[in-house]
Structure 1
Amino acid sequence: MIRPSAGPSNRAVEIGTALAFTAAGGAALWDSLRLGIGWGTDGPQSGTFPFWIGLALVAASTGTLVQAARTRGELGIFASWPQLRLVASVLVPNILYVAAIPFAGIYVASAVMVAWFMRRLGGFGWARSVLAGIATAVATFVIFEIWFLVALPKGPLETALGY
């Protein structure tokens, strides 16, 4: 049984985050070298700025990693498991929303996400949640597609409607 006050330690989270950011900075460095970081005939090559950002990211992350690794003893918990479940209840649907946009389009995905959050986290009934999701999608469509003439990712529904 997990105690309500139990959770990952600050030290473990700092080490994990430092490793993740070191990897991201390393990827930026790797790709910047592929693009070129020198000086071309028309100025700095396209990888120059990302190279320095990646280098700064690796340096800062390495410093954090060393500091966290040298810490003796526990620094307390980062968050309790119930708190992390609450974060996951928002994070996971948002990841699914972003993943659904290329397939369903932004309007359908947004309508479903708004309805889901209203129903699941807001406690609203299905009718009100679905109506709010549809209203959000329609308002977003009118504002971006009609008024601002900005095309957003569309899915099969918009294609079937001729947009």
Structure 2
Amino acid sequence: MTRFHLELIFAGLVFLVGATGVYGATALDTGWGANGPQAGFFPFRVGLILMAASALVMAQAVASRAALGHIAITDRAGMKRVLGFGLPIIGLVLLAQWLGLYVAMALYLLFTIRFTGKRPWHTALGVALGVSIVTFLVFESWFQVPLLKGPLEIMLGLG
């Protein structure tokens, strides 16, 4: 299987996820009400963004089809790259169930930036904390959309 085929398959899957989100959001109000965004406002727009991004990935893959040659994940190096990308994301999802989304996100970013990106600890820590804090402020404070909390957020009175 070539990288071109993989790009098309995954872009198609992301497009379907976006289309499902848009379809589901249309059962709700997708506009802006007197009290702020309605229930379907964010899912509808996120779905549209996913659909647009996947369409761009498909177009880019078609435009550069010749450059997207064979990809080998059957050898040790290819499998290591795939696992190096996929296992931390699975870890993020699992940790979020016990630690909450913000702590799990900070840990994911910290270790991914440090070990995969090979950046210094201070850079990884700054990005991890910065992104988690900004995400908290945007969702919890500004949009008042509660996300998954863990014991740390509850202990700090943020839950």
Scaled by the length of structure 2, what TM-score is found? 0.53
Q: Per the alignment, in what secondary structure is the counterpart of residue 145 of structure 2?
A: coil
* Deviation at residue 78 of structure 1 after TM alignment: 5.2
List runs of 5+ in structure 2 lacking aligned partners.
3-69
Aligned length: 90
Return structure 1 stretches of 4+ with deviation > 3 angstroms: none
| Counterpart position of 2:147 | 152
* Deviation at residue 77 of structure 1 after TM alignment: 8.5
Instruction: Determine whether 1:137 maps to 2:127.
Output: no
Distance across 2 between alignment mates of 1:125 and 1:78: 31
* Deviation at residue 158 of structure 1 after TM alignment: 0.6
Percent sequence identity over aligned pairs: 31
List runs of 5+ in structure 1 lacking aligned partners.
1-8, 11-75
Distance across 1 between alignment mates of 2:89 and 2:102: 14
* Deviation at residue 81 of structure 1 after TM alignment: 2.3
| Counterpart position of 1:98 | 93
Scaled by the length of structure 1, what TM-score is found? 0.51
**What amino acid is aligned across from residue 110 of structure 2 in structure 1?**
A
Q: Per the alignment, in what secondary structure is the counterpart of residue 102 of structure 1?
A: helix
Q: Per the alignment, in what secondary structure is the counterpart of residue 117 of structure 1?
A: helix
* Deviation at residue 128 of structure 1 after TM alignment: 1.2
Q: CA RMSD in A?
A: 2.0
| Counterpart position of 1:118 | 113
Structure number with the bigger relative contact order (C-alpha 8 A, sep ≥ 6) is 1
| Counterpart position of 1:161 | 156
**What amino acid is aligned across from residue 143 of structure 2 in structure 1?**
F
* Deviation at residue 156 of structure 1 after TM alignment: 1.0
Asked whether the 8 Å contact 2:106–2:129 carries over to 1, the reply is: yes
Change (3 A) 1:160 1:85: same
Query: Higher Cα Rg: structure 1 or 2?
Result: 1
| Counterpart position of 1:107 | 102
Distance across 1 between alignment mates of 2:133 and 2:77: 36
The equivalent position to 1:85 in structure 2, one of 80, 84, 105, is 80
Asked whether the 8 Å contact 2:99–2:151 carries over to 1, the reply is: yes
Change (3 A) 1:162 1:106: same
Distance across 1 between alignment mates of 2:138 and 2:71: 45
| Counterpart position of 1:128 | 123
Q: Per the alignment, in what secondary structure is the counterpart of residue 151 of structure 1?
A: coil
Distance across 2 between alignment mates of 1:85 and 1:107: 27
Distance across 2 between alignment mates of 1:135 and 1:122: 17
